[in-house]
Amino acid sequence: MPGEPLLASPGMSPVTLQDTAGGDVDASQEHPGCVGWIGMVHHPLTVTEPTYLRIVARGASDSTLAVQLEDGTWLCNDDTEGTDPMVEGELPAGAHRIFVGAFTRFDMHAYTLGVSTDPAAMPSSLPAPASSAAALGGAELRIEPRGADPQSLRGVASGEVNIDGLAGACTGFSTDMPGHGVEVTEELPRLRVFVRADQPVGLVMRRPDGELVCGVDANGTYYDGPALPGLWDVWVTVATEGAQVPYVLGFSREDAPGPADLPAP
């Protein structure tokens, strides 16, 4: 699946763009010199004539780079500057592809990508990436200590990414990208997250500190615990690959309500 395309030639002005890194493809299976996890999303890079390019990425988490040249050659890098990667060299004319990966499987996170002819360009010279939830359109819901309670979101769970064993307790299938971004405005001593659906589903959340939390079904409540302030990425997963399951997702700071109190999906 192509992302935003790029055009490169001698004397070009530096180009930057933002997107979300990671995926379910082990980059080392594409080429043994590559590391990390990439997805189907890539940036088409058209080079009009042989050009020295420096391709750098600044990620919100540990990122990798994989550049596939038109002739099938792979150029890969990890950790040139801290946990940020850089690929450089004389690229031939042609239609190439740039993948920004995550070092850890399922660590979907935002990045800023830069393409330049400047041999001094580094990841730290790029603008900071947005949070992953913001990169996907921002938070859909704000949870405040004294705000409305409960609150809910609707969606359709689906996925073809096998997450069995992820973070120790995850099972089922998910999409690469989170389904929702939820902002917790202040640290909460307790937040309950529950789901109403007509078929089995699961829950994966990434906390603002990057830790993944896999929900365990307790009568439809998948998380009951403290909540750090910041943006949470939320996936509602399915038990069967390719299934499409409508759901309503609920959030509460109280003992009640629960799934039965949510509207039908």
pLDDT confidence of residue 106: 66
Same domain as 115, residue 229: no
Same domain as 56, residue 165: no
pLDDT confidence of residue 134: 46
The 10s digit of each residue's pLDDT in 239-265 is 999 899 999 999 999 988 889 999 999
Same domain as 141, residue 124: no
On the 0-12 / 13-18 / 19+ scale of CB atoms within 10 A, 230 is middle
Whether 115 is in a domain gets the answer: yes
Same domain as 232, residue 147: yes
The answer for residues whose C-beta is within 8 angstroms of residue 64's C-beta and 6 or more apart is 27, 34, 35, 36, 38, 76, 77, 78, 85, 100, 101, 102, 103
* Residue 251 to residue 178: CA distance in whole angstroms: 17
Q: What is the CATH number of the domain that holds 14?
A: 2.60.120.380
Whether 231 is in a domain gets the answer: yes
Same domain as 140, residue 257: yes
- Are the CB atoms for 27 and 123 separated by under 8 Å? no
Whether 228 is in a domain gets the answer: yes
- Are the CB atoms for 148 and 170 separated by under 8 Å? no
Same domain as 38, residue 96: yes
Whether 1 is in a domain gets the answer: no
> Strands 141-143 and 180-184: what pairing?
parallel
Whether 36 is in a domain gets the answer: yes
The 10s digit of each residue's pLDDT in 118-175 is 999 999 999 988 655 444 445 678 899 988 899 999 999 998 888 888 777 788 998 8
What's the distance, CA 73 to chain centroid?
Answer: 26
- Are the CB atoms for 219 and 258 separated by under 8 Å? yes
The answer for residues whose C-beta is within 8 angstroms of residue 196's C-beta and 6 or more apart is 220, 247, 248, 250, 259, 260, 262, 263, 264, 265
Same domain as 107, residue 14: yes
Same domain as 240, residue 172: yes
Same domain as 191, residue 120: no
- Are the CB atoms for 56 and 85 separated by under 8 Å? yes
The 10s digit of each residue's pLDDT in 58-115 is 998 899 999 999 999 999 999 999 999 999 999 999 999 999 999 987 677 789 999 9
Q: Which residue has the higher pLDDT, 72 or 176?
A: 72
The 10s digit of each residue's pLDDT in 39-52 is 776 899 999 999 99
Last residue of a domain, one of 78, 95, 129: 129
**What's 132's DSSP letter?**
H
pLDDT at 238 exceeding the cut of 50: yes
CA R_g for the chain: 20
- Are the CB atoms for 209 and 228 separated by under 8 Å? yes
The 10s digit of each residue's pLDDT in 9-24 is 998 989 999 887 887 7
Whether 221 is in a domain gets the answer: yes
pLDDT confidence of residue 65: 98
On the 0-12 / 13-18 / 19+ scale of CB atoms within 10 A, 125 is middle
Number of domains in the chain: 2
pLDDT confidence of residue 130: 67
**Domain of 240, in residue numbers:** 134-261
- Supply the pTM of this predicted model: 0.61
Same domain as 144, residue 121: no
